[in-house]
């Protein structure tokens, strides 16, 4: 079975280029079919969740042309509006639910398989449904797990979100973009990818104001037109490399980032004793000694992201003193701690809180990725540990990190994707 093999103990050093943001690309691809004209999207990350969504829109008739590794020309005019979006892959990715908002917005009808995604908690979609209903849609759940959304007409509404939800904010924004009149979303999510989708829709002729604040105003338009758009850099991929630099006591320049999106991450790294240097589109992280402790609570943007929670826990597990990490977004996001315990970490999880007694080093181990971000975090732990570790279930990591082992290797990490015993022997021989 394909997995990663890592020989830890080498500080990362050099420069790494960050890809486009997966969580912006997913809704932008979904929204690209809301016009009959052609849309060119650039800086699309080459990761499996994106390929799955592109196949999903192809499966209902959209024309998708790959221009180069990171650019696609998409034309949604041939879409068969009656076709349900459903196959075993669509059900695996969370982003497929964005097709409810985009198809409902454009065609006033959508039938989409219920979303899957990483198993990090209950992940209900009640806020999405509440928003669609407020716009006038009738929503039914139909076996085998399809969401049917239908409306004679969508009309703008004043919607107050009970929880801050990235997915619901995005989905409602798409449906409202082509509704009659004004929609106001209150208590909206403010994540960079929410703003990126609004900018993309506006470049197609939508009228969306306030994205990035907690009140978004959407004045519906009759039609959207083609556009050319480049996706923002991936905040979470960048943050992951920042923590990889810190945990291996390295010196890494992370390029093609928007430093503003990384403020909560940089602040925590500074707090524990890293040096951070920012320029217009890069951030350098230097760690020369064992780092200190801190407490952190995950929060919606601009708070510390839940998608960085495993990475900071892994760093704090190696830091001096006791740290507390509180997960306030998803209730099931500490599953990786059992794996980390195998490496000698001292972490106790009580409900949504991890109490971490820092140890001076991790020991190598065989590990299994429980989800995307935890998988990447376990690779960081393996790079910080002395000796050979093996990380399984890497399909999770490949959902959201482009060329993860290749980028790490360029920074000096000893990591390879291996399959057979021969591959493993070769890696051990090379890594010494």
Minimum CB separation of residue 331 from ligand EPZ in Å reads: 7
Minimum CB separation of residue 268 from ligand EPZ in Å reads: 17
* Residue 274 vs 374, nearer CB to ligand EPZ: 374
Catalytic residue flag (residue 118)? yes
Q: Which residue in the list 12, 16, 19, 118 is annotated as catalytic?
A: 118
Of 136, 128, 204, which Cα lies nearest the Cα of 169? Answer: 128
Site membership for ligand EPZ, residue 128 (CB under 6 A): yes
Minimum CB separation of residue 265 from ligand EPZ in Å reads: 13
Q: How many chain residues are in contact with ligand EPZ, going by CB under 6 A?
A: 27
Helix extents (H) in 135-208: 166-177, 192-203
Minimum CB separation of residue 41 from ligand EPZ in Å reads: 16
Q: Which stretch binds ligand EPZ (CB under 6 A): 61-69, 121-129, 198-206, 404-412?
A: 121-129
Site membership for ligand EPZ, residue 261 (CB under 6 A): no
Query: Taking a C-beta distance cutoff of 8 angstroms, is the pair 139, 148 a contact?
Result: yes
Of all residues in the shown chain, the one whose CB is closest to ligand EPZ is: 167
Give, as ranges, the residues between 162 and 181 that touch ligand EPZ (CB under 6 A): 163, 165-168
Of 261, 271, 267, which Cα lies nearest the Cα of 291? Answer: 271
What span, in angstroms and rounded, lies between the C-alpha atoms of 22 and 201?
Answer: 17
Give, as ranges, the residues between 375 and 394 that touch ligand EPZ (CB under 6 A): none
Q: Report helix, strand or coil for 295.
A: strand
* Residue 53 vs 253, nearer CB to ligand EPZ: 53
Minimum CB separation of residue 13 from ligand EPZ in Å reads: 27
According to CB under 6 A, which one of 118, 272, 318, 385 is a site residue for ligand EPZ?
118
Say whether the peptide bond before residue 302 is cis (omega within 30 degrees of 0): yes
What span, in angstroms and rounded, lies between the C-alpha atoms of 292 and 323?
Answer: 9
Of 26, 159, 42, which Cα lies nearest the Cα of 100? Answer: 26
CB-CB neighbours of 178 under 10 Å? 23
Please, what is the Cα angle at 376 between 94 and 379, to 5 degrees?
Answer: 155
According to CB under 6 A, which one of 372, 377, 381, 408 is a site residue for ligand EPZ?
372
What span, in angstroms and rounded, lies between the C-alpha atoms of 88 and 92?
Answer: 7
Q: Which residue has the tokens 């009759």?
A: 222
Catalytic (active-site) positions: 118
Binding site for ligand EPZ (CB under 6 A): 23, 26, 94-95, 118, 120-128, 163, 165-168, 189, 306-307, 329-330, 372-373, 400
């Amino acid at each position: 079975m394909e997995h990663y093999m890592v020989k830890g103990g080498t500080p990362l050093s050099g420069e790494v280029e960050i890809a486009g943001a997966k969580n912006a690309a997913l809704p932008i691809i979904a929204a690209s079919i809301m016009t009959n004209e052609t849309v060119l999207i650039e800086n699309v990350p080459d990761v499996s969740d994106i390929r799955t969504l592109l196949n999903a829109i192809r499966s209902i008739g959209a024309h998708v042309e790959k221009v180069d590794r990171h650019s696609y020309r998409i034309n949604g005019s041939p879409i068969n509006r009656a076709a349900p979006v459903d196959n075993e892959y669509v059900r695996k990715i969370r982003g497929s639910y964005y097709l409810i908002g985009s198809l409902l917005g454009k065609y006033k009808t959508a039938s989409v398989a219920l979303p899957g995604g990483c198993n990090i908690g209950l992940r209900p979609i009640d806020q999405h449904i509440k928003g669609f209903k407020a716009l006038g849609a009738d929503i039914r759940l139909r076996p085998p797990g399809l969401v049917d959304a239908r409306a004679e007409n969508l009309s703008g509404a004043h919607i107050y979100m009970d929880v801050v939800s990235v997915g619901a904010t995005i989905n409602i924004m798409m449906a409202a973009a082509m509704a009659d009149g004004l929609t106001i979303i209150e208590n909206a999510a403010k994540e960079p990818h929410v703003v990126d989708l609004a900018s993309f829709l506006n470049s197609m002729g939508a009228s969306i104001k306030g994205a990035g604040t907690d009140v978004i105003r959407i004045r519906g338009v009759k039609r959207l037109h083609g556009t050319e758009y480049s996706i923002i850099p991936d905040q979470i991929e960048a943050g992951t490399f920042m923590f990889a630099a810190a945990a291996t006591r390295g010196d890494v320049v992370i390029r093609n980032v928007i430093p503003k999106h990384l403020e909560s991450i940089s602040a925590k790294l500074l707090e524990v004793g890293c040096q951070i240097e920012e320029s217009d589109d890069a951030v350098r992280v230097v760690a020369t000694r064992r780092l200190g402790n801190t407490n952190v609570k995950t929060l919606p943007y601009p708070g510390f992201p839940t998608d960085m929670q495993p990475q900071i826990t892994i760093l704090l597990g190696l830091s001096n003193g006791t740290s507390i990490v509180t997960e306030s977004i998803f209730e099931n996001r500490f599953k990786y701690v059992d794996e980390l315990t195998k490496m000698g970490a001292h972490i106790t999880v009580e409900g949504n809180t991890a109490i971490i007694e820092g140890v001076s080093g991790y020991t190598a181990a065989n590990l299994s990725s429980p989800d995307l971000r935890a998988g990447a975090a376990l690779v960081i732990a393996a790079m910080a540990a002395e000796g050979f570790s093996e990380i399984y279930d890497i399909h999770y990591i490949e959902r959201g990190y482009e060329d993860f082992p290749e980028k790490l290797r360029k920074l000096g990490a000893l990591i390879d994707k291996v399959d057979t015993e021969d591959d493993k022997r070769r890696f051990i021989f090379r890594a010494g």
